[in-house]
Amino acid sequence: MQEMVLEHMGIDMQAMTDASTSMFGEDATSMMSMGMGGSSMNLWQELLPGDNGKPINDLLKKQYDVVYGSWPNSYDEIVLVLDENNELDDMTLYALGLEPKEDVDSIMEAAVNGKELQKDNKSWSYADICSMDFRTILNSDCYRYDESTGLYTDLRDTEAGLQYLYDNGLKLKVTGIIRPNEDTTAPMLSGSIAYTSDLTKYIIEHSKESDAITAQKDSKNTDIFTGLPFKDTSGSTSDADKQTAFLEYLNELDDGGKAQAYVQIMSIPTEEQLNDSVQQAMQGMSRSDMEAAMLQGMTQQMSMSESDVQSYLESMSDDEITDTFTQMMQQQVKAQYAQQVQQQMAAMQPAELVGALNQLLPTLTTEQCANYYDEMMQFSDSTYEDNLKALGDIDLDDPASINLYAATFEDKDVIEDAIADYNEGKDEMAQIQYTDYVGLMMSSVTKIINTITYVLIAFVAISLIVSSIMIGVITLISVQERTKEIGILRAIGASKRDVSSMFNAETIIIGFASGLLGIVVTYLLCIPINLLVHHLTGIQNLSAVLPVPAAIILIAISVLLTLIAGFIPSKSAAKKDPVVALRSE
């Protein structure tokens, strides 16, 4: 499929994937591939395993409905993941062999050229797909040892090899068809073909038995596909190691190879000879002379017009011009020196060249051997790590990425705490950096809800203050209207405290009754409100609830406020003179 994208769109997906992985990591690469092709670039995905050895996690079973068949239970069983329209994308159909390459080519060409295609309305029954025979070929099975060359070859390079691999491939059976249920807003699976973790374990164990992987691990410095040594890109190889490798390389050559190697050695000028020749050639040259000498050569090499090359040279500084011209002269001097040496040695016999090499080797220093190692040795275009990756070598102790799934917000907080504990005491570059998108959204929602809550609290506080004042005014009016009654109570022996307690008890009863009435009305209103919320949102767990402890607290607040509001009027009633109170009408 990567070759098809390269063919039709001119985009090397593998190169882009490798570059993005090295620069941004696996997560960014995964997000980029999803953004560029959705599940088309991530067809296969492992199902989240459950607890206690269960192949499928309960969270997946909550998010997806099995529309046909059953969940997989073995390493060789898979499920297909449909969208809400019971459809699979074209790349998945092509990977399953249900859609020919010609149809996919037409789709790619139409996408590139902006053409419209007629809908073919192809369909397959669930039973047809589940009865098909699917096979996958593991990378470790694709390479076999060739006794004639002593190297490992790829069986996929020939039709016969492909047929052999298919006939002996791992058989996979589609046991079920799943689809996200209607209540799932963020389904876990992004691929279209899902398998259990048992398949991953099977591939790892199977790869350990591969002869090619074993041979490559036993020969970490040599490419088992080409027989050439790997080039050290880290710079950790010392001159002594290079000397040893160079001498071993010469000893393994036959007489013809040794004769050719001697000519190559003598064709390489020493550092002093090279510097002297370059300095002599550049002596007395000005910047304009260098530009004129570089113009013709760079025009031919870069396939650009002289005016463009001239503009490029004029934009370079004096030091850049000198360095570039020096490099060009060094290459030219090396080529001329090699040509002269080869002409001089053309008349020598191979035996003479081999004898000269045997006399030269004991006189070479470590630095000279290291220089010849860099100049003469042929290296593999691959690396040890790339070969193991191509062979399908997998190590669970060295994962490419780790996915953590939180079923609840409390679980998410546990993950955040674990990351915080890991980062504690570490340098900034060694810390795990993450972005909590859910936390950011919840934080924004929480701020909005808190703002609305504060506004409502302000309105409620104003209402309570006004209500308290009104209760106080009503109680005061009641005291004024019942002045004669207060006088009679005082005349028959009631104390000031008894009069005050009577009015306080009255306000307490009013507060308790009003609070209780408000709680009852709230509980009754919650019933239609919850029905309306469930109907509009479709979320059955979202309900308006007034807890019993909160209801008791609200009633207590109501009683307390009415008691405070009636405190002043009750004191006023207690202070009235009985004689004056009895005279009032």
Q: What is the pTM of this model?
A: 0.58
Distance CA 30, CA 35 (A): 9
Q: List C-alpha distances in Å: 305 to 289, 291, 294, 316, 327.
A: 19, 15, 13, 17, 22
Among the residue ranges 358-367, 461-470, 547-556, the one predicted with the least confidence is: 461-470
Rounded to an integer, the average pLDDT of 30-44 is 48
**Contact between residue 214 and residue 140 where contact means Cβ atoms under 8 Å apart:** no
| E strand or H helix that includes residue 116 | none
Strand pairing of 143-146 and 64-69? unpaired
Is residue 67 scored above 90 in pLDDT? Answer: yes
Q: What is the mean pLDDT of the chain?
A: 82
Is residue 559 scored above 90 in pLDDT? Answer: no
Q: Which position has the higher pLDDT, 358 or 489?
A: 358
- CA pseudo-torsion sign 158, 164, 170, 171: positive
pLDDT score for 34: 36
User: Encoding tokens for residue 120?
Assistant: 């073919």
Sketch the domain layout of the chain as residue ranges.
43-218, 239-378, 409-434, 439-583
Residue (of 68, 199, 217) closest to 138 by Cα position:
199
**Beta-ladder partners of 135:** 171
pLDDT in tens, 181-217: 888 877 888 889 999 999 999 988 888 889 999 999 9
**Contact between residue 5 and residue 11 where contact means Cβ atoms under 8 Å apart:** yes
Q: Which position has the higher pLDDT, 577 or 314?
A: 314
**Beta-ladder partners of 79:** 176, 194
